[in-house]
Structure 1
Amino acid sequence: MPFARPNKLVAPQTSGLVARQRLFREIEQAPSNGVVWITGPPAAGKTSLAATWLYSGRSAARHSRALWYRIDETDADPAIFFETLALAVAALPDRPCSALPRLTPDALPNLEAFARNWFKTLLGNKERAPYLFAFDDAHRLPPDSTVVAVLAILASALHALDRLLCLSRENPPPLFLSAVSRKRFAVISDLRVEAGEWEDFARDVPSVHGMDRAAFIAMAQRSGRWIADLAVAPSSHPSIDDLRTHPVLSSDRLFAGCSDVERTALLETAFLQTGEEEEWRTLGGECAVSVLTQLAATSALVGRLLAGALHKHDLLFDRLRAAAEMELAPDALSRARLKAGRLLAARGEMLAGVRLLTAAGADDEARDLILGQAADMIASGRNRELVELIAMLSASTRRLPLVRVWHATGRLPFEPSAAREAFRDIWRAAKPAEQPVEFACAVMGDINAALADWSIDAELAWIIDEIDRALPFLTALPAEIHERLVITRAIAMLLGCPTHPGVLDALTHVEAVLPRLQAGRQLLLGAILVNYLLWWRGDLAAARPLLDNLAPLANRTDVPPLATMAWHYGALSIAYRDGNDGAVRRLMREVVAFARKWGTQHRLANAYWVAAQAYAAAGDRAEAAVALEGCIESGLRSGRPEIVGQHFLRGAIALGEGNTDRAIGEATPAYERAGRAGNTQQRGLSGLLLAMAFAVKGDDRARKLIDELRDLAARSHSAIFHLHAGLAEVCHAAAQDRMAAFVAAWNRMAHLGCQLGFRRIAGLDVGHFGHLANLALYRGAEVAVTRALVALWDLPPPQRTNIHDEWPYQVDVSCLGRFAIEVDGKRLSTGSGKAQRKPRELLFHLVIANGRDLEQEWLADELWPDADGDQSLHSLTTTIYRLRKLIGGRAVIHEDSRVRLNPLRVSTDLGRLRDALWCVRDEALATADRMASFDRAVQLYQGPLLPGIAMTPVVLERQRLAVLLANEGLGFLLTLDPADVGRTLRLNRLRAAIGDAVLPDSVARLWPT
């Protein structure tokens, strides 16, 4: 329920108060963008000094943004403090509060980071008017309170003309002093009135008008030089000095000047400190308004706030409460407490209100009040307040199941394991037919606690079964709670028990109710659904539009931060599966910045977990290592380190690098630990690493793991685990040279991989699978699906071996006997115009380099020999850009001042010829393999290199290539039997291929006569 702006944010009225110029000067001479700590005993004038400086119009503060905040007992809870401070900011003219994050319990482990960001967001605009903060009654905060540290962070965030005033009966606590620079700190403690202030009092205080200086000094001496009794006219009522100097004041003196009716009115209103006239009238009748108004006009015992409310001084408030407890009859005392408690609770001051209700014996009313507000308190992050309120109830009330449910709910963000035990005790003891609400709320709490604590284990399946058994008995359950129970059951299946037989029905139900949910719940549940579709079902096509539809919700500031982070987790997962490395980096920057803003860095483990896999799959080992450390650190900060997930990441990174032994070493303990915990997904993820690693080694232990993966895939309807089982099966068959099984497994796996559309796979050694893809083509696998899979997974062609003609290079350059370029299978016309001349010449250099790096300075000199260095380098950069536009952005690599063709994207007949000749020369190969490579080399050599191109490097390479072909070919053929007809035929083909090329004598004389 919305509450009015609390009185604690309203400053006192300044009419009738003294603008003390001496103390104004001390405030204004304090360091800029600093802290002024005003300290003194009760009624020393701290509040009136700050109020008059801020609001009287006689100070430098009059053109600034002033925020008044009177601290009370509730402000030790940082959630309440930030919520209330946001209300104060919202009252400013330009309302700069829309971008301010709300403190949730999830941010409490990173409260200091949250506070820094909160104040940076508030104060970041340097062009604004100065902020002036006044925190009254700062002594009410415990010295070691986290809010004291928050105030110190505010002090550090102040800009040039900003000021922070803290009014306290105590000196600054050590926690505050240690965090604030002494250069930005000033203490004002000498608040007694001095003779030189006579003019200020003569101007502002009616009772001093016409009084000469000597009379003023004498009056000041009589009052102990404290301002409280100097600024009011003489009265029959007790003075502030009476209350301050006499800890025990007689009732006659306390109520001096009051009639019996007025005395009764003050006692009946004793338990309210601040209120509007109507509120005082409700508690003590018209007389209460009259006597308080009179006290406000004639003494410092009561003051008025700017909004008109009457506020008792702390000293009077404390004395009246004590007097009421002593003088009122028990029934009257209970009524006074009851009426004040109801009033306070109605305006949102729950702690004070419930304390009075329970003191009045209205425990049932207090219970109902708490239960009625509990959901809103949890939604606004006031968990600690809820726990404290429940602690005020009687022991018998605290034992009620529904009260215990809310007590456990309040503890859930801080003590998830203990909360889960409490929830479980409640629903186990509840009878669903007789206590449907208690059972449903407790069992939902148990599931939520398990998910919050990542206690995803076999017990979730048991809880789901218990819900299913109880559902027929929950006929009296309110429809809203019933719907929440069904949704929670579905979430438990999707996240923690995807092998449950009812998981598909749960999925259908979630999809149906999702559009009807409130924004925050819709985003969170939608993000859960996205991640289920991605990490279990492998349904990228279904997850992508759902994530896009949720994007507007993720940008709203009124949804829970964890829901937005869950959306980012899904977005990261899609970017990872798409192989969109730029999007992964952008999303990581966004979610890390978001977590810092909301103080939820400890919840980044999932994002880092995905990013580590993405970076590793992209070949960026350094980034993957950083993300892995981020994952570990986030787990530690959350207090729930995810050991199994860390082992999985290390194992996946090792497996992707081809280090099967390390992968096995990392995955084995994770697999065993997940099995003991009953965590199906973690065991499956660890199992797929083990299956792949053993399979690559040809170890038959892979067979059992492959069977487990297939069983898990069937029970959870998971295409991902089906795919990984297929990957392991392919590796195992290849390692054991079972070619028929290999080809069959390859075809099945390739079809599934293309169907899923994932470009990146955890633990995929792309080099090894590039070799397997080439082998599959040679062994007769389906060409179309293999080509599609190679392109989808960006598999590199194997090195130092013959690449199958069907290998799907993005760019194919022919330069032997002709010059032609094909991009994605289509012939490209490079033209002969001037605009294309330099990109073609650059391409010629890169082609004859055959994958070697070329220094950019050398290239620039070759292409622009007459230009100076800077100009030629600029021209080279432009030409590289134009060549990339021609043949593809990823076809040319330009990094570290070196340029080369990307061997993963570009194939040349020159490169294939050199690979074939390398095999011809390799004496370790079988003669038949060398002969096949010789035949391929002669077939590839369709004529001289780049005929008609007169560039010197091309001419030299043309000559070297002819010599290399003749030398390697003859060297191999001369090892064959001279009587072999095949040898003779190959010699003739070689001679025809070489043609009239000029060979050195050392090669020419090798020709058989």
Structure 2
Amino acid sequence: MNGPSPPEHTPELPLRALWRAGDASALAARLQGLGTALAPAAQDRWRALLGLLQERADVLAYLDRAWQADTAAQQTRAAQENAQIALVACLLDYGAMDQVAVWLDRCAADTALPNEADRDPWPGRFWADAAGVAAGVLSGRIEPAHQDAAERLWAALRALEPVLSPNECLIAGQLLVNHRFAEQAYAHFGLLASTLEEPTRFAAASPLMRVRWLYTVGYALYQVGEQARAQRSWQRALDLCRAEALNGSALMVSLALVRLLLDGGELAQARQVLEGIDPDWGAGRAAQLIALQQMRARAQLLAGQPARALALLNEALDLACASALPDAELAACRTDLAQILLALGREDEAIALLHYCRTRHAGRDAQVFGVLHDLLRAWTLREQDPQAAKTLLADALGGAQQLRYTMFLRLLPQRAGALCALALRWAVLPAFVEEVIRARRLPAPDDAGPQWPWVLWVRLLGGFELRLAGRALPSEGKAQARPLELLRMMAAERRLSVSLVAAMDALWPDASGDTARKSLDMTVARLRKLLGANDLVQIGDGRVGLNRAQAQSDVALRRQLIDALEALSLTPAMKHGDRPDRDAAHALIAQIGELGYDELLAGLQPVPWLEAARVRCHQETVRAAQAAATLLGRPEQSLPDAGLREAALLEAALHYEPLAQQLVIRLMQVHLVQGSRGDALRVLRRFEQALEHIGQPPDDHLRKLAAQWGLVAMPR
């Protein structure tokens, strides 16, 4: 329907034609010219419809006055149409969501009345079906009647002989995007866009309706991870806003672009856009002022100022409370609040907030809160109860995949990256997780392993393997010998880099300084060519190394994990043997064990730099075993897998330090607790033989322990 459906002889007929044409200026002039020829309620209704074309903030105020007057006069059909138009306006006008509940109630009451529009052919039923779709979206409950209304709108849009005007088409399109989004029917967005953006039809609509369509479809694309398409849609909308001086819509679209820039880590550009926004553009509407404050809070958090972000977001939430905005309009602010609490170290509060929101919200919002809640719970349980954490993580990521919700924890990319690394290590939805990592360019956490989609992964333990973007590269050939040796040297170092002097001394020990440097530069060029990327190998500050944002090796990762284990054991605040310490230690030992204890570059002939690197690896294994023994206290029979992993670490350490009595005792304890008396005795006998080899007698402490544990006593 194109404005209320007046009898053919009424003065509203020209207004109806102008509405269909989308000519706001002519409609305003005609409405003024009619004066008292229109009843006051009809005047208010047409002023509201005009407001939809002019970006005015008083649309719902006019409709409220018209509804009150028609209701008092028992003009039920007119009152019903006022409520239907208002409900659609609530969904189209993103600053009017605080009035949704009122108009939902009025429409629900009016639907019990005979609805003549149900019997009218198109376009007479436009507002009735438009309101039906809006009611389903705004209430969060898509019922059969709402679905039927959506199907009729879609059929009207696709008709070969359009019965809707260009403006009505875009209004219907916005409603259908929201409806399909609520249904999670994301594939329909492209079809809707191609239908509605047919050049002739699109150009005939008013600038405001075109802007709102572009904003709506852009927001839907953004929410399902189609950031590039969303940005194109929003940029078109912003260009149109500037050309037509649509300031209210410019605020709305600018905030959308800020959101996108912040998601992409482009903080400086986002701040520049924020500084260019005039709050008066929103005509004082609460929802838009709240959104502006929310984006300011996001910028502060991403700039490393969580306390300031919390203050700004609390101001936004206070304004929302004062404006009585419905819960549906607070979902984004509440997810931001949870992330700010996480950044402040208030993890329990964040989880409690998400649980509350999960039960209070409906539809997709409730599902999003559920995903975030389960992600955080999985993270907190990852060491204490890995199996429960894995189940929660699988449920959360499965929900995110179904929702196409790739921007979880958008304000905490490091935490999102850590969760993705954990999911990959546990083989939880790896294809989806890799998609998220690549689309968001998430930073790799320090413990990201070979499962992470590194540009370059180098395996050195037990042999030599290169993987470039997941594909194995040949690691043999005379022409590649020197570049690959340089690569192995860098990959074996803590920071994946060596000094230029060390590299030249190792690879060209007999060359002069200038000659060695030329050889190094040539070798780097050949290595870059082999890897197919110049930025993977970097030279600067007197060092040559791999790009640590894109490359990793098993040795460097293993060293980081061992450092973390040792640091945990040396922390004075820790009371060793307590549950959190033990859980963290077990998790680190598991990760170290996954990388293995094989010889560094096994099979390669030793050269000085390689011999030194192997010795470092041996020493690190021993340090890891000593740190684990310090942290874990008494072995637990209830943790057989943990016992096996610790035993493997201890065995590897004793291979390099067979006389480390502390580690011998610990390994015997682990075997005994796991019920492997024979293994404990084997460890004891091996130690006994090592002592005999150097002519050293066993000490009394070990002999007493052996007797206490029922093992054969050692001779003096």
Query: TM-score, normalised to structure 2's length?
Result: 0.67
SS at match of 1:821: strand
Shift of 1:775: 5.7
Q: Distance in 2 between matches of 1:415 and 1:522?
A: 18
Q: Distance in 1 between matches of 2:58 and 2:370?
A: 39
Cα displacement string for residues 178-208 of structure 1 (whole angstroms, at most 9, x for unaligned residues): xxxxxxxxxxxxxxxxxxxxxxxxxxxxxxx
Number of the residue aligned with 1:685: 332
Q: Distance in 2 between matches of 1:693 and 1:866?
A: 54
More helix per residue: 2
Aligned residue among 28, 35, 44 for 1:387: 28
Q: Give, as a single letter, the amino acid of the residue that structure 2 aligns with 1:423.
A: L
Shift of 1:554: 9.4
Give yes or no for the alignment of 1:424 onto 2:64: yes
Q: Give, as a single letter, the amino acid of the residue that structure 2 aligns with 1:698.
A: E
Number of the residue aligned with 1:203: none
Give yes or no for the alignment of 1:446 onto 2:86: yes
Q: How does 1:361-380 map to 2 (within 5 A)?
A: 371-378=12-19
Give yes or no for the alignment of 1:924 onto 2:570: yes
SS at match of 2:467: strand
SS at match of 1:758: coil
Give yes or no for the alignment of 1:609 onto 2:252: no
Q: Residues 496 and 680 of structure 1 are in contact (CA less than 8 Å); yes or no, is this contact kept in structure 2?
A: no
Number of the residue aligned with 1:569: 215
SS at match of 2:358: helix
Q: Residues 98 and 324 of structure 2 are in contact (CA less than 8 Å); yes or no, is this contact kept in structure 1?
A: yes
Shift of 1:489: 0.4
Q: Distance in 2 between matches of 1:644 and 1:496?
A: 19
Number of the residue aligned with 1:339: none
Give yes or no for the alignment of 1:912 onto 2:560: no
Shift of 1:643: 1.8
SS at match of 1:473: coil
Distance 1:813 1:448, change over 3 A: same
Number of the residue aligned with 1:514: 157
Q: Residues 455 and 469 of structure 2 are in contact (CA less than 8 Å); yes or no, is this contact kept in structure 1?
A: yes
Aligned residue among 425, 430, 433 for 1:789: 433
Give yes or no for the alignment of 1:942 onto 2:614: no
Shift of 1:437: 6.5
Q: Distance in 1 between matches of 2:87 and 2:65?
A: 13
Give yes or no for the alignment of 1:752 onto 2:361: no
SS at match of 1:813: strand
Q: Residues 455 and 550 of structure 2 are in contact (CA less than 8 Å); yes or no, is this contact kept in structure 1?
A: yes
Aligned residue among 819, 827, 832 for 2:472: 827
Q: Give, as a single letter, the amino acid of the residue that structure 2 aligns with 1:420.
A: L
SS at match of 1:699: helix
Q: Distance in 2 between matches of 1:920 and 1:787?
A: 30
Q: How does 1:815-964 map to 2 (within 5 A)?
A: 815-823=460-468, 826-829=471-474, 832=477, 844=488, 847-848=491-492, 880=528, 883-884=531-532, 901=546, 903=548, 905-919=550-564, 921-922=566-567, 923-924=569-570, 933=589, 936=592, 940=596, 942-945=598-601, 957-964=609-616
Q: Distance in 1 between matches of 2:650 and 2:76?
A: 94
Aligned residue among 281, 285, 305 for 1:637: 281
Q: Distance in 1 between matches of 2:485 and 2:217?
A: 43
Number of the residue aligned with 2:267: 621
Q: Residues 581 and 614 of structure 1 are in contact (CA less than 8 Å); yes or no, is this contact kept in structure 2?
A: yes
Give yes or no for the alignment of 1:706 onto 2:355: yes
Cα displacement string for residues 556-596 of structure 1 (whole angstroms, at most 9, x for unaligned residues): 53333344434543564466456566656555544433433
SS at match of 1:685: helix
Aligned residue among 102, 106, 122 for 1:466: 106
Q: Distance in 2 between matches of 1:574 and 1:793?
A: 21
- The structure with the larger Rg is 1
Number of the residue aligned with 1:646: 292
Q: Give, as a single letter, the amino acid of the residue that structure 2 aligns with 1:915.
A: Q
Q: Distance in 2 between matches of 1:388 and 1:518?
A: 20
Number of the residue aligned with 1:486: 128
Unaligned runs of 5+ in 2: 1-7, 636-645, 659-692, 697-716
Q: Give, as a single letter, the amino acid of the residue that structure 2 aligns with 1:649.
A: M
Distance 1:478 1:425, change over 3 A: farther
Q: Distance in 1 between matches of 2:62 and 2:416?
A: 51
Q: Distance in 2 between matches of 1:572 and 1:543?
A: 10
Q: Distance in 1 between matches of 2:187 and 2:608?
A: 53
Shift of 1:752: 0.9
Shift of 1:749: 0.6
Number of the residue aligned with 1:110: none
Q: Residues 134 and 175 of structure 2 are in contact (CA less than 8 Å); yes or no, is this contact kept in structure 1?
A: no
Give yes or no for the alignment of 1:728 onto 2:386: no
Q: Residues 777 and 806 of structure 1 are in contact (CA less than 8 Å); yes or no, is this contact kept in structure 2?
A: yes
Give yes or no for the alignment of 1:674 onto 2:320: yes
Unaligned runs of 5+ in 1: 1-366, 993-1006
Q: How does 1:519-558 map to 2 (within 5 A)?
A: 519-531=166-178, 533-534=180-181, 536=182, 538-547=184-193, 550-553=196-199, 556-558=202-204
Q: How does 1:182-201 map to 2 (within 5 A)?
A: none
Shift of 1:486: 1.9
Cα displacement string for residues 718-763 of structure 1 (whole angstroms, at most 9, x for unaligned residues): 1x53132231244256548874754443221121122233332364
Q: Give, as a single letter, the amino acid of the residue that structure 1 aligns with 2:257.
A: A
Q: Give, as a single letter, the amino acid of the residue that structure 2 aligns with 1:819.
A: F
Number of the residue aligned with 1:814: 459
Give yes or no for the alignment of 1:697 onto 2:338: no
Distance 1:572 1:483, change over 3 A: same
Shift of 1:768: 2.0
Q: Percent identity?
A: 17
Q: Give, as a single letter, the amino acid of the residue that structure 2 aligns with 1:492.
A: A
Q: Distance in 1 between matches of 2:267 and 2:452?
A: 27
Q: Residues 538 and 544 of structure 2 are in contact (CA less than 8 Å); yes or no, is this contact kept in structure 1?
A: yes
Q: How does 1:209-248 map to 2 (within 5 A)?
A: none
SS at match of 1:677: coil
Distance 1:797 1:383, change over 3 A: closer
Shift of 1:971: 5.7
SS at match of 2:96: coil
Q: Residues 263 and 411 of structure 2 are in contact (CA less than 8 Å); yes or no, is this contact kept in structure 1?
A: yes
Q: Residues 413 and 443 of structure 2 are in contact (CA less than 8 Å); yes or no, is this contact kept in structure 1?
A: yes
Number of the residue aligned with 1:989: 655
Q: Distance in 2 between matches of 1:628 and 1:569?
A: 18
Q: Residues 427 and 442 of structure 1 are in contact (CA less than 8 Å); yes or no, is this contact kept in structure 2?
A: yes
Aligned residue among 5, 30, 45 for 1:405: 45
Please report the RMSD computed on the Cα atoms of aligned residues, expressed in angstroms.
5.3
Cα displacement string for residues 119-161 of structure 1 (whole angstroms, at most 9, x for unaligned residues): xxxxxxxxxxxxxxxxxxxxxxxxxxxxxxxxxxxxxxxxxxx
Distance 1:593 1:878, change over 3 A: farther
Shift of 1:666: 3.7
Shift of 1:479: 3.3
> How many residues of Structure 1 are paired with residues of Structure 2 in the alignment?
606
Q: Residues 816 and 941 of structure 1 are in contact (CA less than 8 Å); yes or no, is this contact kept in structure 2?
A: yes
Cα displacement string for residues 426-477 of structure 1 (whole angstroms, at most 9, x for unaligned residues): 2332269985764455445434554565343354344344334445433277
Number of the residue aligned with 2:445: 798
Shift of 1:403: 4.2
Q: Residues 920 and 969 of structure 1 are in contact (CA less than 8 Å); yes or no, is this contact kept in structure 2?
A: no
Shift of 1:970: 5.2
Q: Give, as a single letter, the amino acid of the residue that structure 2 aligns with 1:685.
A: A
SS at match of 2:177: helix
